Amino acid sequence: MDEPTIPERAHPRGRGARQTRLDIYVDRYATRTQRMKASEIRALFAVASRPEVVSLAGGMPNISGLPLDAVAETLGELVVDRGTQAMQYSSGQGDPGLREQICTVMALEGVAAHPDDVVVTVGSQQGLDLITRVFCDPGDVVLCEAPSYVGALGVFGSYECEVVHVAMDDQGLQPEALRHTIDIVRAAGKRVKFLYTIPNFHNPAAVTLSAQRRTQVLDICADADVLVVEDNPYGLLGFDTEPMRAIRADGPERVVYLGSFSKTFAPGFRVGWVVAPHAVRDKLVRAQETATLCPPTFSQLAVSAYLANHDWRGQIKSFASMYREHRDAMLAALDEHFPTTASWTRPAGGFYVWVTLPSGLDAGAMLSRAVTARVAYVPGTAFYADGNGTTAMRLSYCYPTPERIREGVRRLAGVMGTELELREMFGATGPGLPSRGYSSPNTDLT
Amino acid sequence: MTQRVVVLAGGLSHEREVSLRSGRRVADAMSAVGVEATVRDVDSELMPWLRREQPDCVIPLLHGEVGEDGALREILELAGAAYVGSTPAAARLAFDKPIAKQVISKAGIRTPASVALPADTFREVGAASVMAALVERLGLPLFVKPAQGGSALGCTAVDSAAALPAAMVSCFAYGSVALVERKVAGVELSVPVVGSANGAEALPAVEIRPDGGVYDYTARYTAGATEFVVPADVSEQVATASARVALTAHGVLGLRDLSRSDLIVDTDGEVWFLEVNVAPGMTETSLVPLSVDAAGLDLGQLMATLAKEAATRGPRRP
């Protein structure tokens, strides 16, 4: 090996000046790519993945209760009995048998769909991507709740859509605000392509759209000729009540429905689905074929075999019972440690609590202090496309144990106390510095 | 015989992600020149692991506290490992920006006027009056940064007194002591130094031109967001003066093997010292690899040479 020699003198003009941006493709990226930038907050989440940090940030399902031995047996049989089929290409629309089973799952929420209406996707996240690809041109308006799912905002951003938020309260989307927003957007000469809504145990707001409002939302959108995209990953994970009737159940021609096995079984298979009116479905299948040729056959058959051979309804109840314990731990810890000047939702299902901070605090600016104290959360601004949400944060209780949840909330309360005291001391009670960027959607994996 | 080198990267500081990228890049560059280089995180198993594996040399590339404040180097010495880079005492001195500035200032190098204060002092004396006095003493614009830390985390340029409170809060989110410094306008340069004591040499200065005018975290780690000129587009005189400042900082702080000094050249061509890093970034968008390349060197071979020298030097004996 040739040994280098350390230079014997300074090299002020060694090789002739070179100008570089360290990215030779810098002037070639699409407009939508140019907003993808490194951010401090993303860097902080790199620390949150370490075991020393209690992460109340991510939305990872807790699948420690799955009967892995039984699942292993099912998967083993799949390989032995149908291995060459499971490892082969398959239909772009998805496995017909799985699509039938999906219809059985959706029947629990009142959706009467035919397997032909179903398109299997790589998680419902890909369903969202395909829907946006099929419907949206740059500049088209998508209506979203305020706040909305960070991963959806990422998809809409990547297709250069304009997101307009619609106000919510403790019963979910406000119908009057929806009507008013549609009018305003139209008055501005813009076209609303669809309303994106998460009616059950909302991520991140943790509220559920009431039955009465579901009808109102459907009527308003029908009157205004606006498609509804209903995203329902948590609907079967209620703690105290039977599943609510899906919006799609009462408006099959007006609603595209997104479902997922990520929370009711396991996210690693990446199997979700879309149910859409016929014309839309055909376009989604074409889009799916372009994107992936077909959704992963092995994953589909694995999920199908799981549904056929296991008490999946019982497993969902068992998951819900575990999440209920986690929620109880978080709410009790919040009641005990958080100041009375903060407020938070009390979810009846799902994974999250939405906290509104005491006046003067900025959740984004506080995150570095929290990570130093070994606790992480997602700042509220992640869930808005318009910069709102500075005084809110999302806490997830799905993955950590109740003990870790209690410890995390205790640490967070300490962080909040210090931050509040510092801000009062410096008289810095407004939002933090505007430069703090945010990139989606990886926080849900943290 | 093939060198067995362990690159330590990751850790629990706010710069974990940057460190992991630095570590991967250095390990890859060294592997490409025939060194057996692996990347390892720092955790509770590190000491027994080092004792068991006994690598020829360790390259600590943790950024931020622990990695740069001397603590990790103390651990390496306790574990009896040879390592590339400055001693614990020198790293501690360099990592504390106010102290480093003071030492360097005494060596006759210009550094912007500054005041370092812990949060507790603002609490005890009254934040409003202290902030008013800071503006009065140092003038505007100011630059507020944590006394310890890197990657511009918690750093804010302050153009008005009204913007100072938010900048202070942001700074104290990253550390307990703030360095409030007069902001010098000019060309931003970064100058790496390799070697030790009498053998230290400066590599070509890198000129930094961030698109948004501020070399913040986004400008540092988004490929394409900053234009670099290397060697810097400055006169021979300024280039020589910059090299001299970086070499002086390296020397008076007692640094070893590798450091990187961040400087500003004002409109009169005067060179100002801002800070020095003992574990400078080695990512795809970092400055040292650019400078190494401009010097006609190979990063992997340079690191291999430093590792070989460190292995020859051996662990510090009690």
Residue A2: band (very low, low, confident or very high) from pLDDT cuts 50, 70, 90: very low
pLDDT value of position A10:
42
Amino acid, res. B71: A
pLDDT of residue A57: 93
Q: Residue A3's pLDDT is what?
A: 40
From residue B225, alpha-carbon distances to A24, A59, B216, B221, B289 in Å are: 12, 31, 10, 8, 17
Residues sharing a CB contact under 8 Å with residue A378, sequence separation 6 or more, in sequence order:
A57, A150, A204, A393, A394, A396, A443
B198 noted as active-site residue: no
Q: What is the mean pLDDT of residues A321-340?
A: 97
* The predicted structure's pLDDT at residue A18: 84
- Name the active-site residue from B65, B221, B242, B291: B221
Peptide bond into A147 cis (omega under 30): yes
Backbone angles phi, psi at B83, to 5 degrees: -145, 155
**Structure confidence by residue, pLDDT tens digits, A49-70:** 888 999 999 899 999 999 999 9
Query: Would you state the pLDDT for residue A200?
Result: 97
Residue A431 — pLDDT band, cuts 50, 70, 90? low
**Is the pLDDT score of A12 beyond 50?**
no
- B68 contacts B150 by C-beta, under 8 angstroms: yes
Q: Do A19 and B204 touch (CB under 8 A)?
A: no
Cis link prior to A204 (omega < 30° from 0)?
A: yes
pLDDT digits (tens, 9 = 90+) for A271-303: 999 999 999 999 999 999 999 999 999 999 999
Domain B93-110+184-296 in CATH 3.30.470.20? The answer is: yes
pLDDT at A376: 95
In chain A, % helix, strand, coil (3-state, to 5) comes to 45, 15, 40
A224 in helix, strand or coil? helix
pLDDT of residue A441: 36
Angstroms from A40 CA to nearest CA on chain B? 6
Instruction: Break chain B into its structural domains and give their ranges.
Output: 4-85+305-312, 93-110+184-296, 114-182
Spell out which residues of chain B touch residue A13, defining contact as CB-CB under 8 Å.
204, 231, 236, 239
Entry pTM: 0.86
- Nearest 10 degrees: Cα torsion B243, B245, B248, B254: -90
| pLDDT reported for residue A383 | 95
In this predicted structure, the answer to whether residue B316 has a pLDDT above a threshold of 80 is no
Whether residue A226 contacts residue A195, with contact meaning beta carbons closer than 8 Å, is answered with yes
In the DSSP assignment, the letter for residue A357 is P
pLDDT tens for each residue of B193-252: 998 766 899 999 999 998 888 777 777 778 788 899 999 999 999 999 999 999 999 999
Distance CA A325, CA A239 (A): 10
Q: What is the pLDDT of residue A300?
A: 98
Order of all β-strands in the sheet with A352-356: A343-344, A352-356, A392-396, A378-379
B67 DSSP assignment: T
Which of B170, B294, B296 lies closest to A433 in CB terms? B170
Mutate which: B222, B227, B257, vs A, most A CBs within 10 A: B222
Fold of B114-182: Dna Ligase; domain 1 (3.30.1490)
> Does the active-site annotation cover B182?
no
Which residue pairs from B153-159 have beta carbons closer than 8 angstroms and sit at least 24 positions apart in sequence?
B153/A40, B153/A43, B153/A368, B153/B14, B153/B15, B153/B217, B154/A368, B155/B216, B156/A433, B157/B183, B157/B214, B158/B183
CATH of B4-85+305-312, one of 3.40.50.20, 3.20.20.120, 3.40.30.10, 3.40.50.450: 3.40.50.20
Distance from CA of B16 to the nearest CA of A (A): 6
Residues from chain B that touch A368, judged by Cβ atoms under 8 A, are: 14, 153-154, 173-174
What was the ipTM of the complex prediction? 0.80
pLDDT value for B198: 67
pLDDT range class, residue A439, cuts 50, 70, 90: very low
Amino acid at B275: E
Among B190, B260, B286, B300, the active-site one is B260
Question: What is the SS3 assignment for A358?
Answer: coil
Give CA separation, B16 vs A33, A49, A52, A439, B228, in Å: 25, 10, 13, 17, 24
- Where would I find the beta strands (DSSP E) of B65-186? 114-118, 142-146, 156-158, 177-182
Judge residue A187's burial from the number of C-beta atoms within 10 Å of its C-beta, 0-12 exposed, 13-18 middle, 19 or more buried: exposed
Catalytic, B317? Answer no
Angstrom distance (rounded) from CA A299 to CA B274 = 55
**pLDDT averaged over every residue in chain A:** 91
Q: How many helices (H) and strands (E) does chain A have?
A: 12, 15
